[in-house]
Structure 1
Amino acid sequence: MLLLVFLLFSSLQLSTTKAIDTLALGQSLPWNETLVSEGGNFELGFFSPGNSGKHYVGIWYKKISKQTVVWVANREHPIVKPWTSRFMLSIHGELLLLTTPSDTLLWSSNASSRSPPSTTVATLQDDGNLVVRRSNATSSSGNVAWQSFDHPTDTWLPGARLGYDKGAGVHSFLTSWTDTENPAPGAFTMEIDTRGQPRFDLFAAAAGADRQQYWTTGLWDGEIFANVPEMRSGYFAGFPYAPNGSVNFFTYRDRTTMMGVGNFMLDVNGQMRRRQWGETAGKWIMFCSEPHDTCDVYGSCGPFGLCSNTTSPACQCPAGFAPRSEQEWKLGNTASGCERRSLLECPKDGFLELPHAVQLPTGSSEAAWVRNGRDCERSCLKDCSCTAYVYDGTKCSMWKSELVNLRALSTDDQGGNPGIAGAVLHLRVARSEVPASSHTHSWKKSMAILGVVVAAVVVLLASLVIGVSMAVLLRKRRGKGKVTAVQGSLLLFDYNAVRTATRNFSEKLGSGSFGTVYRGTLPDATPVAVKKLDGFRQGEKQFRAEVVTLGVIQHVNLVRLRGFCSEGNKRALVYDYMANGSLDSYLFKTGKSAASDAKVLSWGQRYTVALGVARGLAYLHEKCRECIIHCDIKPENILLDDEMGAKLADFGMAKLVGHDFSRVLTTMRGTLGYLAPEWLAGAPVTAKADVYSFGLLLFEIVSGRRNNAPTEKGGYGTYFPVHAAVCLHGGDTVRLLDERVAKDADMKELERVCRVACWCIQDEEGDRPTMGLVVQQLEGVADVALPPIPSRLYMLATANAGAGGGAQDEFYSENSTSSILAEGEE
């Protein structure tokens, strides 16, 4: 009897642990379980690449000893605690990745249907394709509602189509991982020709410029691509269709019986790799890579990175430079490039010769005709924006930006390019980085001969001229100050230069949390806004380092930092001037003199502003090398450019923290009325504090009034977010809208904004969305479920109803809030 019970128990265990390959409607896949294709070739589940500590849902080879991921769902939204997430096929036939308890959407297949057949399933096939079918049929493509083959990441599997089918709304292309431990979209893509030509092109994203094409397969001739002679008939089968430009795609089959498992993969360094799994070797074996030379990949070594096909690794930093991110370089992503180890102090800098002949960098250069190399050096040295120069014997070429595509040339390369063989590039570095032996013998000899010949003739005149000139220059400098280049386009102003630019701080634009803002003008007549900082106690070295970090951050929705001043406790930041001022002047009425109609933003403009601010915050939180928490989101810190586009100001004034948000912020103080609950409790603050403030901002954009503005009869009335949450649940969002824009508002957009705002102000950080998800929701890419009313606001509303508003007035009074802050700080 015991034996029978044991056998029965064992059979039950086997039946419950049997691998499955299909999800039914409403079925979830637990984080610690997987789907396995019927033949056992592929597996789907949660995985964590390397030592990142972040988790994703992906597909990998089941029978290969080294986990090789071929598809990732939530590339841009990693999961830290996988046990709080679930991957499921919803009752609407849509694949979803959700986090509990609020069911925040991290990824969706966007293939839902109001009434999908009950037989709709999601199946992991043996070719690695995850397919959602609306029936049990296995051959009819008409029953496919969605498939991962139409949405590849960095890997092209046999049988998958790559290209576009406009009729089916499919555009499939490859995008590299950011690095070997981060599947977020990287800098390189492989796409089919958009004009219908049967070929593929490789592109690199270029910061602040259009993307660059750096390689092409050439045209398909029915057997091979023109630039890929390694291909042979039977190894790759392509099927291009471009009769009218609406369809153009390729697929291929693998000779699996002879070569085993293989695929195409766009590597993090920008090379397209054709590889096969070597079972005996236990590793992937490279069949070919395109382009063959790593250095042919545009920007693979990043700004100031030097590429060489004779070294390993191929990317190196020149003398006087170091990787901008050691961690990224270790993980194979060198696109961030190199930076100077020491800050420049123009015009006291020097130059380093690159030890090998180089291919001249891409980008425009300025040419000047000079007598010799020394004159060329002087011309570059006195121009603080000049980063490098080349003197070819007659012409002086100078570059005024970060150098991209520096490449050391071999002897063979120089032989094929005689015009480049003698080009010696001189990079600008701090004087401390220049060794004493760097001055060439020829220049010393020239200078010595020149001194002997002309010394007797000009020494007296030169002394006189120099003396007079120095006196004039010193007098001018004392009056106007000095401006020097620090890094890239970032400028360092001395205090006299700041006073001159602002006409001794005569035109005040406003006051903020960190100082007073004045209007100014640069020597080239460029208008700027100068923020004179108060109360900064950082050491000068740390302050400069952090400002230089902020200076390289550029985004269309962030106010550009042009330069800074740091002389003891005299510190200032110099920004682009925004002629249309700040958002608050366009939103809020000011007593009897309400804003004129000309200054009232339309609903369309408000929605665009909200989306722009969200994109700027998402960039600061998720796209910068170091996550930047703003800590002071409010209408006064949102400036409008000439086209009424939103630009976020005062970013980076809080301390920088890492991407994993493990470091916390507890000392900065935002503006009363926009603070998240964790500020008031004295708890550690993360990027979700910005999300909370952004939610409050959205309510003010919708209503055109301060959230805690007094009513016309006096007092505070109902706190607007409470009122908004109640109206949202009652389906009456139109009551929330500013009456000045009620006629032209889109009601669907209005409800979407209000839902997003209410999610953003949830009490618990984990219930609030990330700014990346907020952008998707505002763009309409991701759905926004009806949010719950935040419990703190609900209690506030209840207390206000019972106490006639007194409890609310006390809670939001300045004195009580200041007391809470003081207690938290203590």
Structure 2
Amino acid sequence: MGWLLRYLVTLLLSLILSFCTGQDKIVPGISISGNLTLTSSLGAFALGFFSPENSSKYFLGIWYNTVPVPSNTAIVWVANRKSPLDSPGVLMLASDGNLVVLDEARKVMVWSSNVSVSAAAKNSTTGSLMDTGNLVLRFGGDTLWESFEHPSDNMLPGIKVSFNKRTGQQRRLTSWAAPDDPQPGNFTFGIDPEVPFQTFIWKETTGYSRSSIFVGKDTSTVFQNQDGTAYFLSYNFDADEVYITYSVSDSSVQLRVWLSPTGQLELLQWQGSSRTWLLLAKYPVDNCDFYARCGPYSACHRDEPQSPRSPCKCLTGFTAKFPNKWVAGEWSGGCVRENVLTCGNGIFEGYFSKLEKVKLPDHSVLLENRSMSQCDSECRHNCSCTAYAYVNATDTNNIAKCFVWFGELMDLEQNHDIGQYEIYIRVHGSEPAGNKGLSVNSLRQSLVIAIVSSAAGLLAIIFGYFLWKKNLGKEGRTTGRMSEIISNVSVAGGRNDTELPLFNLRSILAATNNFSEANKLGEGGFGPVYKGILLGDQEVAIKRLSKKSGQGHLEFMNESKLIAKLQHTNLVRLLGCCIEEEEMILIYEYMPNRSLDKFLFDPFEKTKLDWGTRFRIIEGIAQGVLYIHKYSRLKIIHRDLKASNVLLDGTMNPKVSDFGMARIFGINQVEANTNKVVGTYGYMSPEYALYGHFSEKLDVFSFGVLLLEIVSGKRNASFYRFENSRTLARWVWELWKEGRGVEVIDASVRETCRTHEALRCIQVGLLCVQEEPADRPTMSSVIRMIGADEATSLPVSKEPAFSTPRNSSSITTYSNNVVTFTLPEAR
């Protein structure tokens, strides 16, 4: 109750020092309540409690001091949006140094700046209202928190709308629920996290309106008033953050961007003479401004958006999906190809149709450092690539950008007034004379050369393998300590039956060029991984226990004794180990295509995973897990099954890896408990994450999450889309129960996949992630269901585990790992 005593003291001081109305700072011992306010030094903004028109609720807010209050149009920021008060509250500095809002009637805290304040600063922080409209919490010269980093529905000059690519944190505008209700409404505005060079207005979880693509760092004049005042919009990005902001040439001009409760962005300027807000611009305005107004493979024509005739027109080579509805003005079905594309073995038989003066469609992928011919070639050589554009940037480097698209083309406009670009769209038919690009004959020639080269390389690898086997016996020397440890890597009767070849350290140093950084593939909890070349030119992956790691010895023993006993085409093969001079090293077969996550979650690399490849990967992982559960000499629970622990060989076949956390079960053992929960959050079943209880159904749950990731192309661990974060499984479940399962399928394969097969995989994935272990299928059942024909019915799934969305005031997503030993790069 210390805060209550502090509150009574500060309230008394506030009554004595009532002259504080009009000051711009709040300090320890001073509070704001009732009609008291803070006013910025030049009188531009005021802060205090207000009650909106036609409302009985109270909020702490910031408003223009020169605009009549209580006008709702004057409010630019609200603190306690999610916790309205029945009477004016109290703003004060709490004992932890944070700004807080207290409910005077209920004696509870309803809002806090909620930052970590050092012990030295707790009694010395101050809150200041700046003439920019920014409320700042400071300690000395350091800013600890500011309202500009937590905008409401208004964007003032200097506020950033941003997306942090590293943490996933987003800074957005959120509309009021209604003109007289500051609580969070249905609309948000911000940077698109999936395509971070464009902005979106979302209505709840659905795209409502989308901007043009920002091609490079840019500051441009977007509006100039008759009095000469100019407004500048800036788009910037660096390694971590993408953001937009704006400024005005005359700082005395009261200008704001407002996201209305109806979803419109409005640029407003206060007119002191008429005491009104002048609307300078707004968006969206007409048909073409609304997201995907015409559906896929169609362009909304900007020159006739209000025409009685349809503004929507199918692209060249496409026709209306529902012709009767199209004529009637229902365009959401969009267009489909008139003819199926012919594209096999990387050879494309059609051509690219050029479309000019367009707003580029959604879901673009940026390819860095490409010339025009390289941009054309990369799209032409990829059968999943549906279009490309080569756009000159307007930043200081003036570097052109290559954009490509995979899957459907959505939200394309022609004769767009901002950002008029050219796009080349893949269509069926004969290539017109003079059309830019590589000829089919030259592509065939390149293919023949590639096949011959690959065959020669394969013969060299086979020859090298036999040469390595011949010389292997010469490399088996080891120290007494190595023999001692290897003897402990036994699983039955105390004898060394690991059948694991032993390598000496000298051969490992030679293979990795003395653990050269140039040979390093990546690093996980166990330690670094290096590419090595043994005698006979055999490529291997060498996993070295880090001396700095506090973990790994147990995992080393566990993995060496487990993988040596496992022989399956879908499990990574352990070739040997080395324990010498304090070194603990494992040698694996080398996987040239790295781990599955490097393809699945990269916007460009994922296009190399067509549906046939994805389905083969799903089946392969399932077979590998079934083997360790049922058919191997040891019954094993993996406990860390995820995309980064699935490696891909040269032909994209999957191999499950990283058995450092695996547990051996007795043949008749069904379940076990542990006090040390290890693995990766997001892939753990609820009974394991909460209680340490695990069985085969833990791996089934993890497989279900992985299966949904493979079908959707979305990462579960960082699945953030909107303000109320949710799991991938919940997002899939909501679409599934609404009959919209097709929308789960990754856009890059949606058009070309076997739809019934993909939907069956989604249903199996949902069965695997159910709350109760007993409701989940076994891996045997999973394989039967995945391979069943279209007519076979599957059990009805229940709502998945961990499906309740978080209700958070910030839009922040972090990948949260517990103890996990994963090699994040290629092996």
TM range (shorter): 0.3 to 0.5
Name the TM-score, length of structure 1 as normaliser. Answer: 0.36
Structure with the bigger percentage of helix: 1
Name the TM-score, length of structure 2 as normaliser. Answer: 0.36
